[in-house]
Copies of this chain bind each other. A is one copy, B any other.
Amino acid sequence: MQFTAQQIGLLLNGTIEGDPLVPVNQLAKIEEAKPGSLSFLANPKYEQYLYTTEASVVIVNNNQVLAEPVKATLIRVENAYSAFTILLEKYNTLKLNKTGIEQPSFVHPSAQIGENVYIGAFAYIGQNAKIGNNSKIYPQVFIADDVAVGDNVTIFPGVKIYFDCKIGNNVIIHSGAIIGSDGFGFAPAADGTYTKISQIGNVIVEDDVEIGSNTTIDRATMGSTVIHKGAKLDNLLMIAHNVEIGANTVIAAQTGISGSTKIGDNCVLGGQVGIVGHISIARGSQLMAKSGINRNITEEGKKWGGIPFFTGYMENLRIEAAVTHLPAMEKRLVELEKIISELRKDVH
């Protein structure tokens, strides 16, 4: 895809300074841009790059003053950052503008398919499944029987959604994510073997959720595992059966949450965190990367961390610092013991 500065200026309702016919075919940061790139300058901290960049076109704020001559063609707009964001979105939309049903794909005759839908080759849509309007089901996706998918949903290649699960509107699910596999539930028998406990619940993913690649969300034993509206889940997470993730909660990669735990709204969890089952984490909590959380957090809006116990965030930083002093502390302790032993001899 190639555009001229003029075409982009028209799109953004901007003013051109320099050659309006210079072509661009990619978007890049101003400090990394090569010829043929379109870039932007919004943060004054980066102004120096405006005079040295190899970008062919740079979007700047209307009030940008030029301290030196600029080689690139400029497009002046009200807000350079927003204008660039609009271009990012347009680029992505162009790349992801699939529609129609590719063949071979498998759509059960009883499935209900909305309008303006994309169904990629080798995708599987089961019995009584429902796909909303404007949704995109990429190749090799599996949508089991009785699954409902909302409107404007994007499901990338290879996602698997087990039976009975519900996906809201405007949801994005990345490749390899597994929604609705069995919860990890077994009853121990006297002889040491385990009997599987049937997992007949489902997973409910509410509107505006994004789920990262290869994340797994297990179905509830009974009832539902729920990802509430606007939550954002990174790659390779483990969300166990009957967990609830609060609205607008953000969870970084490789974190695992054990069965029946409830994470409140507007929480932020770092990567590689582990949380035991059957506890609650209060709204607005922030958990440091790699933390091991094994108790309820009832106070809202605080930072926590530490492995495998947990303490307040600042207290944990103090503990971490003290841990690095430990070998020295141990030596000092031995030294004190010696001195005291001598002192006692002197005194008695």
Contact = CB atoms under 8 A, between A and B. Distances in A.
Interface of A: 27-29, 32, 85, 88-89, 91-92, 95, 102, 104, 106, 120-122, 124, 138-140, 142, 144-145, 156-158, 160, 162-164, 172, 174-176, 178, 181-182, 184, 186, 192-194, 196-200, 208, 210, 212-214, 216, 218, 222-223, 230, 232, 234-236, 238, 240, 247-248, 250, 252-254, 256, 258, 265-266, 271-272, 274, 276, 288-290, 292, 305, 307-309, 311, 315, 318-327, 329-330, 332-333, 336-337, 339-340, 343-344, 346-348
18 contacts: A27-B200, A27-B222, A95-B145, A140-B142, A156-B181, A158-B178, A176-B216, A184-B253, A192-B248, A193-B230, A194-B230, A214-B214, A238-B254, A252-B258, A288-B308, A308-B320, A322-B330, A347-B347
Contact of A92 (B200, B248, B250, B348): B200
A99 B46 CA distance: 52
A348 B348 contact: no
Given A200-B92, A253-B184, A292-B289, A327 B315 contact: yes
B212 A181 contact: yes
A311 B324 CA distance: 8
A22 to B, nearest CB: 20
A274 to B, nearest CB: 5
A28 B329 CA distance: 53
A256 B253 contact: yes
B250 A194 contact: yes
A171 to B, nearest CB: 12
Given A85-B198, A198-B88, A308-B289, A157 B142 contact: yes
B106 A121 contact: yes
B271 A238 contact: yes
Contacts of A315: 324, 327
B256 A272 contact: yes
Most buried by B among A184, A186, A315: A184
A102 B106 CA distance: 9
A231 to B, nearest CB: 9
B327 A326 contact: no
A346 B292 CA distance: 47
A315 B240 CA distance: 29
B253 A240 contact: yes
Contact of A319 (B156, B199, B324): B324
Contacts of A140: 122, 124, 140, 142, 158, 160
Contact of A276 (B95, B124, B223, B289): B289
A181 B175 contact: yes
